[in-house]
Amino acid sequence: NAGVMQNPRHLVRRRGQEARLRCSPMKGHSHVYWYRQLPEEGLKFMVYLQKENIIDESGMPKERFSAEFPKEGPSILRIQQVVRGDSAAYFCASSPALAGGRYEQFFGPGTRLTVL
Amino acid sequence: GESVGLHLPTLSVQEGDNSIINCAYSNSASDYFIWYKQESGKGPQFIIDIRSNMDKRQGQRVTVLLNKTVKHLSLQIAATQPGDSAVYFCAETPLYMLTFGGGTRLMVKP
């Protein structure tokens, strides 16, 4: 039973390029969350998605950042025109449907983005 | 002992001793709390959770205590092992968005 999968694990981009991060949730999970972590800090919520829907993007910068979770395929976090301040570890988590109560979120191994 | 480092507070314990990691949470509306363990270069790993209608929950070698009056969580690890060395985060949520605390680095001395 594979866990949450993220790729690439490491991504290097130059300023102005686009970064595309992928996340495949655990089997049977329909909820995906993206978090960002700076060194020596806790994770910060960015966006919460269900299949084909963005439920809450309150933690995501309004410009340059976008996220999707299509009917088929992985969830994508896209960062356009990257800047050095985007360098961080980006984690994806997934959980099963929330019906009947909240469930723990299972985290992937993260994508470490470095912007040169 | 416990010390405050440049970024993360660090708790150093002897192998075999018990560890207690503390966390103050911020949102009085939070009703679900999770402790995560994060090893270097890896994603957070679920350890134990607790809902606000409980004040204590036990797992294998770990216990979480919740004090809603002072908005405080603690994680107790019994018979700490070298493999427990990691950064530990508490997380809270009133709905689905996890808010993480600042983290504590646990170092286990052999």
- The DSSP line for A48-74 is EEETTEEEE-TTS-SSSEEEE--SSS-
Cβ pairs bridging A and B (under 8 Å)? 62
Nearest by Cα to B52 from B17, B18, B27, B15:
B27
pLDDT in tens, A14-26: 999 999 999 999 9
Compare all CA atoms of chain B with the CA of A57 and give the residue at the minimum distance. Answer: B97
The dihedral formed by the CA atoms of A21, A24, A26 and A29, expressed in degrees to the nearest 10: 100
- Percent of chain A past pLDDT 70, that is, above it, reads 94
A31 vs A3, A71, A104, B91, CA distance in Å? Answer: 14, 12, 11, 18
pLDDT 10s digits, A53-64 = 999 999 999 999
pLDDT of residue A102: 64
Confidence (pLDDT) at B6: 44
Residue B7 has pLDDT above 70, yes or no: no
Q: Please name the residues between 32 and 51 in chain A that touch chain B, using a CB distance below 8 Å.
A: 33, 35, 39-45, 48
How many Å apart are CA A107 and CA B14, to the nearest integer? 29
Among B7, B43, B93, the residue with its CB nearest the CB of A107 is: B43
